[in-house]
């Protein structure tokens, strides 16, 4: 993993006093998205309210330790108290907003590009978010 991103993940993992398990990511792009954008979106009250059917407590997600496993084929949440699934980041209620990429896609791309993924674009964000949407909770 990029050393700067690794340092950010280690800071995240070490500063939490209450743990709800671990999220295992198959690529560092997802780690960057999680740390720079997804945690903030999950903890944002407006988004929490939109996803009330899926998110028991945003803290259950934001307190997950982050691991990178490039051999993993999908995102897995382990040893967690989460009951349910991650929100669908690409299928927002049209009455409120479009999907997450339509709203902050450029910012998400920039978050990943800073770690050496110069060709990354919004379509790549969508592909990565699809993996996140399909996370398995064990």
Contact between 96 and 37 under an 8 Å Cβ cutoff? The reply is: no
Residue 49 makes CB contacts below 8 A (sequence gap 6+) with none
**pLDDT tens profile 73-126:** 999 988 777 766 666 666 555 455 557 888 899 999 999 999 999 999 999 999
Domain that holds residue 17: 3-137
Distance CA 80, CA 105 (A): 29
Q: Specify the pLDDT at position 46.
A: 44
Nearest-10 crossing angle of helices 122-133, 100-113: 110
In this prediction, residues 45-53 reach a mean pLDDT of 52
Stated pTM of the model: 0.84
Query: How many separate domains does the chain show?
Result: 1
DSSP the chain: --HHHHHHHHHHHHH-SS---EEEESSHHHHHHIIIIIHHHHHSHHHHHHTTTT-S-HHHHHT-EEEE-TT-SS-EEES----S----TT---TTT---HHHHHHHHHHHHHHTTT-TT--HHHHHHHHHHHHT-EE-
């Amino acid at each position: 993993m990029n050393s700067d991103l690794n340092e950010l993940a280690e800071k995240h993992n070490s500063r939490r006093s209450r743990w709800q398990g671990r999220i295992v990511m198959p690529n560092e792009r997802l780690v960057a998205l999680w740390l720079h954008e997804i945690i903030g979106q999950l903890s944002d009250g407006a988004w929490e309210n939109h996803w009330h059917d899926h998110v028991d407590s945003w803290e259950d997600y934001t307190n997950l330790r982050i691991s990178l496993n490039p051999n993993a084929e999908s995102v897995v949440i382990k040893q967690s108290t989460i009951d349910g699934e991650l929100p669908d980041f690409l299928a927002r209620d049209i009455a409120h907003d479009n999907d997450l990429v339509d709203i902050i896609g450029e910012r998400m791309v920039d978050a990943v590009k800073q770690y050496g993924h110069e060709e990354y674009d919004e379509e790549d964000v969508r592909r990565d978010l699809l993996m996140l949407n399909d996370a398995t909770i064990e």
